[in-house]
Chain A
Amino acid sequence: MTAVINLLARKEAWGSFLLLFVVLAVWEWLPGAMGVPVFIVAPPSRVWAEFMRLLDVERLFLHTAITFFQVMVGFVLGSLLGMVVGYTLGLSKTAEFVLSPYILALQIAPKVAFAPLFVMWFGFNVYPKILVAVLIVFFPILINVLGAMRTLDGAMVNLARSFSASKLQIFWKIQFPASMPALFSGLRIGSTLAVIGVVVGEMVGGNNGLGYLLVFGEGQANTPMVFVAILLLTFIGIVIYGLVVLLENRVLHYLPRAATTEKST
């Protein structure tokens, strides 16, 4: 909250607002002036009107809440799974050696392509959407955690060993905290990917959520509806990304200021 207030106090922030205003104005008037039909580019006023209509008659709030819920669950589960597998592989050279070719193959496979399969397996409910999100979030977390475990300075581990630290102590007091910056860059990436996973799941199968509204709007050539869905999806993405950044600032408070701001760009 204070961050937002600080932001408003800065001159550049007003520049951003002005730019937004200009963009909205151009978006409102220019397509009409150039004869572009509404079903190609819907002006902001039409999008807003559609937003109010959807709230009223199409249970827009419910669709948004369902998507948000699936994104959250998929993101949290995918992150946990990525962490568990990442730390396990990081601790066990054998496990890493045995599993890494398959992980590499899965990493290259486009995860959203699994969406139709999951729908066929689980039906028209929340599970396929959450599962696609889990799968797509899993990899950046895994890769970042594993990378942090691999590149950890062995001298730090030796320091703990010289104090007769147990393997468990070495993990919790050295390896785990040392991986935090990498884990959080993974979580940032994962938070945006979770939205993509859920939307693709909803587009492929279901009658709920913003992804469903996207396809529904497309079928009716209702461009304003598609715009509303896109904007709300972006909003969900921003909220989750913001939560990750908030948590990151708390956890990584010990890092020099410059480094954290640099990372967030």
Chain B
Amino acid sequence: MSDRIRLAFETVTKRFDHPRNGGLIVAIQGVDIRIADGERVALIGPSGCGKSTLLNLASGLDFPSEGRVRVDGVEVSGPNRQVAFMLQKDLLLPWRSILENVCFGQEIRGMSRAERRDKALAQLNRFRIADFAEAYPHQLSGGMRQRAALARTMMMDPDVLLLDEPFSALDAQTKLVLQADLARTLTESRKTSFLITHDLDEAVTLSDRVLVMSKRPGRIVREIIVDLPHRDEPLQRRRLPETARYTGELMNLLDIGHAELV
């Protein structure tokens, strides 16, 4: 980790036109986040508080109404090579084989066929799905599909990985395996990550820092530094008694138990 700021939201506000709701809704309000190189930051908050909106701003698919988003110090003015995202939906193209899906981004970016094939095969090996290179998405289980999506994201070799509830559609055991895969990959490749999640254990076991957002208009209401060992081994970290203390604190912050927030 270094002090260099990879991703920064500088007092970012985002409003959307809304035909019914008096014309405008404020999705997020004055959000300030700075993520250093190699850092892993998780973001939690009630549904609809603007988490995915933040991710869209960071990936250059949408723009702030006020404030700035910077990647490596440069204001984001559109999609760029430094960031890549992965969503809850794997977004694998059903008409492409797994290998072709992993190649997709670099194909658009103009990498030569031979080079992208080699790189994609290396990614498939890393995520242990090389046997399925020629298979089509429907032939894979949910966990394997998400690994393919992770491989496609890593294939872009971004500085910052934006992860929007990447494992929330998976069963509990598959989820644990993929969390471990992700932690290992982040360590090996020394990448920065920004993880949106609903899963408090996931936030604590995969991150150095957890940010808590309020309900809409979303603001960052709390920051919790996760000071626990086993940074690269979420399964080990999960076993620590202190982990439960952190998740308990997050539950209180999210007011879980008062159901209207969740």
Contacts and interface: CB of A to CB of B under 8 A. Distances in A.
Interface string A157-195: 011111111000100011001101000000000000000
Chain A: interface size category = 20 to 34
B108 A165 contact: yes
Contacts of B91: 153, 155-156, 159
B94 A163 contact: no
Contacts of B44: none
B138 A255 contact: yes
B48 interface: no
Contacts of A164: 78-80, 108-109
Contacts of A169: 108
Interface residues of B, number: 24
Contacts of A158: 56, 61
A158 B62 CA distance: 10
A255 B95 CA distance: 8
Contact of A177 (B60, B95, B109): B95
B63 interface: no
Contacts of B94: 254-255
Interface string A203-245: 0000000000000000000000000000000000000000000
A35 interface: no
B250 to A, nearest CB: 28
Contacts of A255: 94, 138
B85 A162 contact: yes
A153 B90 CA distance: 12
Contacts, number: 52
Given A254-B136, A255-B138, A256-B138, A163 B108 contact: yes
Given A162-B79, A163-B156, A177 B85 contact: no
Contacts of B61: 158, 161-162
Nearest to A170: B108
B93 A156 contact: yes
Nearest to B156: A163
B142 interface: no
B226 interface: no
Interface in B86-109: 87, 89, 91, 93-96, 104-105, 107-109
A252 to B, nearest CB: 8
Contacts of B79: 161-164
B108 A155 contact: no
B35 interface: no
A125 B84 CA distance: 60
B108 A160 contact: yes
7 contacts: A153-B89, A153-B91, A159-B91, A163-B79, A163-B105, A164-B79, A164-B108
Which are the 8 A-B pairs with shortest beta-carbon distances? A163-B105, A163-B108, A254-B136, A256-B138, A165-B108, A177-B95, A164-B79, A162-B79
Interface of B: 56, 59-61, 78-80, 84-85, 87, 89, 91, 93-96, 104-105, 107-109, 136, 138, 156
Given A156-B93, A164-B79, A177-B93, 18 more contacts: A153-B91, A155-B89, A162-B59, A162-B84, A162-B85, A162-B105, A163-B105, A163-B109, A173-B93, A173-B104, A174-B93, A178-B93, A180-B95, A254-B94, A254-B96, A254-B138, A255-B94, A255-B138
Interface of A: 153, 155-156, 158-165, 169, 173-174, 177-178, 180, 254-256
